[in-house]
Amino acid sequence: MDQIFTPWRMEWVSRQDWKEISDGCVFCEIYKKGKDREFGVIAEDEYTYVVLNNYPYNPGHVMVIPKEHVGSPTELNEEMLVSHSRLKVRALKALETAFSPQGFNTGLNLGKGSGGSINEHMHTHIVPRWEGDTNFMPILSDTKIVVEGMLETYRKLHAAFAKQEGVENKGEEKSIWVSE
């Protein structure tokens, strides 16, 4: 078996595992901990937050998550739906600013049959994509190479969100607050 070394990822993988945060739902607890950078929370508003994906497909892979524990968009009230949509758009703009991708994959995994690893709390994935970003590694060795460390991704996206109008920058260690 070939080994691929990525020592810059050690800081990320050695932190407290998200599944150890709580006995309950990890998504309900992440934004409550007040350690935004440690848990990858980049931006938030009253009802929704944006967090780096703990197991990214590509640099900049984020999730937009309602603070309310719901399994489907059908369970969100109108204010929460607007909040979720607004932060998805802001995340796309921040990703465009920070990474200049050539496209995006976005979507929800709803319910156990969807194949998502956390199906009891709705979340929208946003994955930046570039032409040719799929290479031989996943095909030949079931290995995905992510070319950037999570902390560098956090810094880039934090700065890109902060450039948007209607954003209160709470500093590098805290998520930014997004208003209308």
Active site residue 121: no
DSSP class of residue 168 equals: E
- Spot the catalytic one: 61, 123, 125, 158: 123
> Inter-axis angle of helices 78-99 and 150-162, to 10 degrees?
110
Neighbours of 78 (CB within 10 A): 7
Nearest of 30, 15, 57 to residue 144 by alpha carbon? 57
Separation in Å, CA 91 to CA 11, 24, 76, 110: 24, 27, 20, 21
Residues noted as catalytic: 123
